[in-house]
Amino acid sequence: MRRCVARAEDGRVNEIITGLRMSPLETLALLGAVALVVVRWLPPAARPRVTITAGSVCVLSAIVLGVAGIRWQILPVLAGAAFPLAFAVVPLLRRRTGRPTRRARWWLALPGSVACIGLIASGPVAAWAFPVPVFPEPSGHFAVGTRVMQWTDPHRPETATADPHDRRTVVVQLWYPAQRSPAGAQRAQYLGRTEHEARTVSDALARYSGLPGFLLDGVAHAHTHAVFDAPVADRGGRFPVVLFSPGLGGVRTQNTAWAEELAGHGYVVAALDHPYDSAAVVLADGRTINTKIASTGDDDEDDRRAVETTRVRAADLSFVLSQLGRLDRGEIPGPPTGRLDTGRVAVTGHSLGGGAALQAARQDPRFDAVINLDGYPRDPDLRLFRQPALALTQAISPETDARYLPRLTKVLKLSTATSYRLTIPGAAHLTFMDGPLYLPPVPSLVGSLGRTESVRIVAAATLAFLDTTLRHKPGDLAGVLSAYGDLSVYRPGTSR
């Protein structure tokens, strides 16, 4: 446990140093802006050359960034450069015309210089707080491919619409072990199949969270390590399957770093968009289903709606498992046909999706294991289930719903197999998704483990559990899990 904490501390130091994630052009604009402020305090002979050089760098950088797509975090930098540039250029022009130059006294210039430096500095601070996410390189032996599919269940009506002919449709994204792609292969866009879809989803997530859309514009520019429709790995046999349901309002890509890490270790991950629940679902025909679910103010009504939403999600998960069987048999074309081991399947989810995973496991015996990432169980029919379960939770605090831990413990004890609850110190609710990679590193929001350490810990604990339950690898699972936090083990026939 102490090794984990020490590694997290080292990771946070590295992230502070490298976490600005500014492009070379943005860095040039920053340096040019700082130089323009410093010009006033240089010896007179050096001012003309520095002014011309720094001014040219800033102007050219602004033009190129404007054409390529400028991030809002760079606007304060350019604004902070514009004011001193005007004051630096005027003396040069007056000197060329032979007119005398005037300089403001130092005690008048100092507050302006400090204000400009503060404005310029706010740019890299904003870039650090809201970066373009950089995804950790998967540590497994496989490269990662990805594919997006849309499936309609002809047997289930869509209860969220009034159309009696509307049938339940889900969008599913696979991450799977793939062959190595050429070095220049285009990496998959984060949040969507195209940049337009990524921006649509990014804007929807911002609206869902009550944030201005521009704060998350960097997320729409991000690329992952996966390659769309890459050839399936030519080794490894048949791969175990992991289904994933996101949190309330969440989208299929919200745990991409986790999914890529699992795929790199030989698992196929299938993550779902749940229409009329996910913040935005872009369908194959171009339509976008935007949804925002807000509290009614009535706890009983909110609980009733959450139970209904969880029921629909659990059915979605079982339906997708059936479709994956068809994909494996070649009834649905595309990778990884013939390589899916649908006899070794785990169902997982984050937040509300974690509750849906627990319910799906209880209802559908085809699932062999279940992982709940900090989700409240909503299943109204609590009964014994046979699958081993792993529940990862944030640190329990006085602000945590008092019903959460007793309810989760009750459900885990209903498993007829050994189940585990791992509470990760320093974790928050959003630690269990990609949020730490691109949200401000505020502990109450994303935890205190750092941008990449949180992803590493959640993936490592998940892989240890999956390797034991789906691949039956020998070893001390409890010992491995306890290295990441406070572990409780629930064995059949015991109250522990």
The DSSP 8-state label assigned to residue 140 in this structure reads: S
Rounded distance between C-alpha atoms, residue 257 and residue 125, angstroms: 24
Q: Output the pLDDT for position 96.
A: 63
30-45 pLDDT, tens digit each: 999 999 999 888 888 8
Q: What is the mean pLDDT of residues 139-149?
A: 97
| Residue 90, token pair as written in the block | 């005027």
Q: How many CA atoms lie within 13 A of 393 on its CB side?
A: 25
The confidence band for 4, taking pLDDT boundaries of 50, 70 and 90, is: very low
Q: What is the mean pLDDT of residues 89-96?
A: 66
Q: Output the pLDDT for position 40.
A: 84
Q: Output the pLDDT for position 98.
A: 59
The confidence band for 136, taking pLDDT boundaries of 50, 70 and 90, is: very high
| Residue 18, token pair as written in the block | 């490298």
Q: What is the mean pLDDT of residues 70-80?
A: 92
Neighbours of 61 (CB within 10 A): 26
Enclosing H/E stretch for 478: helix 477-482
Range from 15-19, 421-425, 431-435 carrying the lowest mean pLDDT:
15-19
Alpha helices in 278-376 (DSSP H): 299-328, 352-363
CA angle 438, 439, 443 (to 5 degrees): 130
Does 463 have pLDDT greater than 70?
A: yes
Rounded distance between C-alpha atoms, residue 162 and residue 158, angstroms: 8
Q: What is the mean pLDDT of residues 152-179?
A: 96
Does 2 have pLDDT greater than 50?
A: no
Q: Kindly give, in sequence order, each residue whose CB lies less than 8 Å from that of residue 32, ignoring residues fewer than 6 positions away.
A: 53, 54, 55, 57, 58, 61, 81
Q: Which residue has the higher pLDDT, 272 or 4?
A: 272
Q: Output the pLDDT for position 7.
A: 46
Rounded distance between C-alpha atoms, residue 421 and residue 42, angstroms: 62
> Taking the chain, what is the end-to-end CA distance rounded to the nearest angstrom?
21
Q: What is the mean pLDDT of residues 118-127?
A: 94
Mean pLDDT for the chain overall: 91
Q: Output the pLDDT for position 94.
A: 61
Q: Output the pLDDT for position 5.
A: 42
Question: If we measure between CA atoms, which residue out of 463, 134, 472 comes closest to residue 269?
Answer: 463
Does 495 have pLDDT greater than 60?
A: no
Range from 33-42, 85-94, 197-206, 347-356 carrying the lowest mean pLDDT:
85-94
Which CATH class, in words, describes the domain spanning 143-490?
A: alpha beta
The confidence band for 14, taking pLDDT boundaries of 50, 70 and 90, is: very low
Q: What is the mean pLDDT of residues 174-202?
A: 95
Q: What is the mean pLDDT of residues 268-292?
A: 96
The DSSP 8-state label assigned to residue 426 in this structure reads: T
Enclosing H/E stretch for 120: helix 106-129
The proportion of the chain whose per-residue pLDDT surpasses 70, expressed as a percent, equals 92
Q: Output the pLDDT for position 47.
A: 84
314-334 pLDDT, tens digit each: 999 999 999 999 999 999 998
| Residue 350, token pair as written in the block | 């984050």
Q: What is the mean pLDDT of residues 64-78?
A: 90
Does 461 have pLDDT greater than 60?
A: yes
Q: What is the mean pLDDT of residues 385-406?
A: 93
Q: Output the pLDDT for position 496.
A: 45
Q: Output the pLDDT for position 83.
A: 86
CB-based contact 434:424 (threshold 8 Å): no
Q: Output the pLDDT for position 103.
A: 64
206-261 pLDDT, tens digit each: 999 888 989 998 899 899 999 999 999 999 999 999 999 999 999 999 999 999 99
Range from 217-221, 254-258, 265-269, 431-435 carrying the lowest mean pLDDT:
217-221
